[in-house]
Structures are given as C-alpha cells and as structure tokens.
Amino acid sequence: MEQYFIKGGNPLKGTVDICGAKNAALALIAAAILTQEPVVISNLPDVSDINLLLDAIAQIGAVVERIDRHKVKIIGATVHSCVLNYEYISKIRASYYLLGSLLGRFHQAEVAMPGGCVIGARPIDQHIKGFEALGAVVDLEDGQIKARADALTGNHIYFDVVSVGATINVMLAAVLADGNTIIENPAKEPHVVDLANMLNSMGAHIRGAGTDVIRIRGVKSLHKTDYTVIPDQIEAGTFLFAGAATGGDVTVNNVIPKHLESITAKLEDIGCFIEEYDEAVRVVAGPQLHGTQVKTLPYPGFPTDMQPQMTVALTVSEGISTVTESIFENRFKYAGELARMGARIKIEANTAIITGVKHLKGAQVSAPDLRAGAALTIAGLAAQGVTQVGGVEYIQRGYEDFDVKLRSLGADIRKIDPADQEAIEQFRQKCS
C-alpha cells in the first residue's frame, strides 16, 4: 500500500474546497433504502467508507447508479435481502446502519456484530435498547445481530450514553413505526440533523434533531428525494489545524461556520486568527502557538474526531497543554508515533500531557486509524526533515484526495509505493 512521503517546513497557504460529510453521508445512504422510490444524494465524498456502504446496499439488491464522482441515485425497490454478510461490517462499521433501515422497512434485519477497533470497544447496547423499545426482538448469535419485529411501535427512549450511531440507527427504525417515538439524550451532531432533514424531505415527520429531545411521528411510507450532504466539519477542521501547525494561512471553502465553532474557538485559544465568511473560514497562524487545555465532548463540544489533530498542534505550541479524551477509551495510540518525531507527550489515563517543543523532526511513522493518520500527516508537514507515513489506507477512508489538496496548499507531499525505491530516492534527494 502506498505511503505518504513528506518534506516538512512549508507553511500551508491558500484555499481548499471541503467535501460532503462522510459521517452524514453514511446515514443518508442507509436511509435511502427506506423507500422504494429513487433517492438522489449529492455532495458525497469519494472515500472508501462511502464506496463500501454503497457496495453493501447493492449486495442486498438496491440499484446504485453513480451519476458522477459525488452524486448517486439509489433505488431501494429491488432490495431482496435483509442479511448483510460479515465482509461489509468488517470493512465499514457503519454498515450497521442497515440494521435500522432494514428493520424500519422490512421488520427484520441481520448484520454481523461490529467488532471494536483501535480507539475503543465501541459497544452497541444503546442501539439494541432502542430497537427493543420499538418492539423488536434482537438476538446476538454466531457473531450476527438478528433483529425482527411483528410490528414497530413508537416509544419513549432514553439513551444512557450520548451515541451518534444509536441515535441514527433508532431514527432509521422509528420513522415508519406506528405512533410517536421520543428520543431523550440523543446525539446532536450536524450529521444527525442532516439525516432528519433528508428523512423529512422524504415525507417523514421528525422534530427536534440537534436538540436534547427528538420527536418522531411514524408515517406509513416515504417517497423520493434529491438531497445534498452537509459539508464535513472534520475534514474542514483537519485543514484548519494543518494551517495552524505549519504557521500558515488556510481558508476552507464550502463549509457551515456554525459547525466549526468549537474548533475555531480552540484555534483562537492557541493564538491563531480566525475570519468567518458565509461559507468559508480562514485561519492565520499566530507567530507562536501557545498551549491550552481541551476535553473532547459530544457536539457542540470539541469533537473527538479532531482530538489527534489538536494534539499535534499542541506538541509545537509553547508551554504545557492537556488533551482529555472523554468519548473513547483508547484514542491516544498515535502518541508513541509522535514521540518518535520528538514530541514531548505523556499519557495518563485518558489525558495527554504535552510540553511544547520548537520543532518536530521527520521520522517513519504508522497511522493506527483514520484521524490519527491525518494528524501524523500534519505532524510531518510541520516537522523538519522527511516523514514517511504508513497506513494511508486508513486516511483514504475519510479524506478525498488528501495529499492532492495538501499539495495545492503548498505542502511537499507525495504518495509513493514503498517498493518503489527509485521514487523514494528521488524524493529524498530533492529534499537533501
């Protein structure tokens, strides 16, 4: 698998267009098979997670017609199976959203149990609690989740944990149920609101998405729609932090500034200047970044998916900083890789204690997951010397043309097959 080769030290400057939100698009694709009529989704990011979920719904019989790189037509009328095999859940965890939509439409669904991953155990007890509250019987056997219901009836559901996935899955199952469903303590992320907006455009009746209580009045059926995915606030935040960590001046375009508020607030905390426009946000790095304290929280708090990128910026920020990860139990696996680049970082329980250094130094590192991979790439961009980042396949799960966009901002980054010694030699000679 190709790796990123980066010569650090170039301040990133310029404007980059942000794609549609991966974590919203995954929910919208699952929702599309709740109706037999055509659903057109625009502004899809061309990333492997999205392409895998489109393959998954095609595998159970949906028609998936690519209109262009970022637009697809889905026709759920031909769905002929409610059983999704292990191949998909092992590759894309969010295929478990098909539990909600298949249960919601067919009153039955079978999806392989999603395993944990490097960032945590990631149980699905709240998903199951919601399905059972709607009247489904859920069995876990042979590594499969088997859900079935004679009927689905609205209910009052209180989530013990704020969960994006459980909120989305229960919305998908409840939208065609008989009667009213109230979801208390739901996730309020923009992608939850995006799903509610698309379902309402299909004839659903959902109120309160993005607040502490979501109310769903079940409807008999849903109809076609033509819907556009919201911009990806995590991709946008990643480029803003890349601008900050490299001492640059970066504008992210096609964004909703409101969705970036917790991210831009922390950038100002560490000494950057932020300018907000209608559909763009600009960050200008201060002459010297300074440390701060941050804790990841459910939206509208500072997002856990921005935790690694924030940590990298703090490794080159003056003073002592702390980053507390309150969402996942094991999301600092990349800290050892940063330490190999000269970062002074200590992990105590779920908190990283960071002492800023003047510069990181290039090294060969390996990405353990999607967002840590993006963060290690940022570290390479900020470091002195050459950094080689392995695990690019993780990064490509959630970032479209990541290296291409970084090069357009002035980064000296190439994607090279590690077997291609000649290309590597050429890159290193150019850097020496």
The residues annotated as belonging to the active site are 117
Of residues 285 and 335, the one with the C-beta less far from ligand EPZ = 335
> How many residues comprise the chain?
432
Least gap, CB of 219 to ligand EPZ (angstroms):
25
**What one-character DSSP code corresponds to residue 142?**
T
- The answer to whether 377 and 398 are in contact (CB under 8 A) is no
Least gap, CB of 97 to ligand EPZ (angstroms):
8
Beta bridge partners of 38: 75
Nearest-CB residue to ligand EPZ?
A: 165
**What one-character DSSP code corresponds to residue 176?**
T
Q: Which residue has the tokens 């008999």?
A: 220
Helix (H) or strand (E) holding 300: none
Of residues 304 and 388, the one with the C-beta less far from ligand EPZ = 304
- The answer to whether 310 and 238 are in contact (CB under 8 A) is no
Of residues 76 and 114, the one with the C-beta less far from ligand EPZ = 114
Q: What CA–CA distance (Å, rounded) separates 219 from 200?
A: 11
Least gap, CB of 421 to ligand EPZ (angstroms):
33
Of residues 100 and 243, the one with the C-beta less far from ligand EPZ = 100
Least gap, CB of 96 to ligand EPZ (angstroms):
9
Q: What CA–CA distance (Å, rounded) separates 63 from 60?
A: 9
- Residues binding ligand EPZ (CB under 6 A): 23, 26, 94, 120, 122-127, 161, 163-166, 187, 304-305, 327-328, 370-371, 398
Burial 169-195 (b: 16+ CB within 10 A, else e): bbbbbbbbbeeebbbebbbbbbbbbbb
Sign of the dihedral defined by the CA atoms of residues 229, 230, 234, 238, in that order: positive
Of residues 368 and 380, the one with the C-beta less far from ligand EPZ = 368
278 C-beta neighbours (distance < 10 Å), count: 7
Helix and strand element counts for the chain (H, E): 15, 24
Least gap, CB of 325 to ligand EPZ (angstroms):
10
